[in-house]
Amino acid sequence: MPFTVVVCDVTACLMMNRSMLSLVKRRSPGRECPAPSLYRRIVSSLQCVCQNVLGRTLEDLLSNHTEEDEDGRKLTLFRYNGKTYPPFGEVTFRQLKDMTVRDDDVFLMGYPKTGCHWTFEVLRMMLQGEAKLSDKTKMQSFIDVVNPTKLETLPSPRILNSHVLFEDMPRQVAEKKTKIILTVRNPKDTAASFYNHHAKIPEYTYDGTFNKWFPLYLSGRVDYGSYFDYYKSWDDTVKENPDQPILVLSYEDMKEDLPREIRRLSQFLGISVSDSLVEEICEAAGVNNMKQSFGKRMSNNMDTMSDRAETRTQEPAILRLQVR
């Protein structure tokens, strides 16, 4: 199957307007190409986002594999070294093993849609000692797609997040015994969230129903493979590497008693958090606050990127990247 340039999942997570994305993703047969000048401006804006946030170009973000449900509905993915990933291209995965790991790095791992974003925000507030949501997002430290040179610009301590298995992490993680936090969530809720992820992000090109998608999930024909094989692998990792510090953090446990889980995290990380800070973090990390803050941050980021694209092209920005 020929390689196709697509706009990646991470770019979609930047909350770009769905209709704009649909113009630059892979075109289905019979769909007309947008006007050349409009198309160039769209691509220019997207290239600016990729370069400034990911340290990548659109040409880096490739798809080379699809899975089909029983109705023939296609899910666009990427295959590398026998494993399935989102359409990120191979550039990052080639560089991942040799990535430089700092002594104070913390790795946040887990299968997609198991609470990584929520946990990231809680961790970041704990490490900064302030219950304040930042204008930065976990996307900027997502090692599955962000260029390592871009990661080097992040201040310490870094919270580096990924969905890969232990065997595919940077080799220095094992050498330095870097601390790993592994998120888990029940497979039913994970499946519901993962389906919405695939159905709503145009780059996956999937427009089937949940009932038709579900067999793909059960058989591991989705990005990052089988949920069950994924956690079986991590279970083996914990058993086979007793000297590797790994804390398993349950989404359900965080919902049940977030203060308790924050204290577990603080003990694991070796940092002190006061009772008042724990209470403030729980308030800041509430669902409503998280949603409001995420929407505001994405809007600000998109305005900045669009302004940069307008300056670079010396043309009026006819498109404004918006949050829906």
Secondary structure (DSSP) of 168-179:
GS-HHHHHTT-E
Q: What radius of gyration do the chain's Cα atoms show?
A: 20
Q: Which amino acid is at 284?
A: A
- Look up the pTM and report it: 0.78
DSSP letter for 223, please.
Answer: T
Gap between the Cα atoms of 165 and 159, Å rounded:
17
Work out the angle between the directed axes of helices 116-128 and 258-269 (0-180°, nearest 10): 60
Query: Could you tell me the two tokens for 279?
Result: 């209470």
Selected residue with higher pLDDT from 132 and 15: 132
The 3-state DSSP class for residue 234 equals helix
Average pLDDT, the chain: 80
pLDDT of residue 20: 44
A 10 A CB-CB count for 133 gives: 18
Gap between the Cα atoms of 58 and 141, Å rounded:
18
Which helix or strand (DSSP H or E) is residue 162 part of? strand 159-162
pLDDT in tens, 254-299: 999 999 999 999 999 999 999 999 999 999 987 666 666 555 554 4
Predicted confidence band of residue 27 (pLDDT cuts 50, 70, 90): very low
Query: Could you tell me the two tokens for 112?
Result: 């997609």
Average pLDDT over residues 208-212: 97
Task: Select 99-185+225-296's CATH number: 3.40.50.300, 3.30.420.40, 3.65.10.10, 3.30.1330.200.
Answer: 3.40.50.300
Can you tell me which residue has the tokens 């973000």? 61
- Reply yes or no on whether the pLDDT at 199 is more than 70: yes
Kindly tell me the burial class for residue 161, based on how many C-beta atoms sit within 10 Å of its own C-beta (0-12, 13-18, 19 or more): buried
The structural domains of the chain, with segments of one domain joined by +, span 99-185+225-296
The dihedral over CA atoms of 306, 308, 314, 315, expressed in degrees to the nearest 10, equals 0
CA nearest neighbour of 94 among 32, 143, 152, 38: 143
What Å distances lie between residue 264 and 194, 225, 267, CA to CA?
27, 29, 5
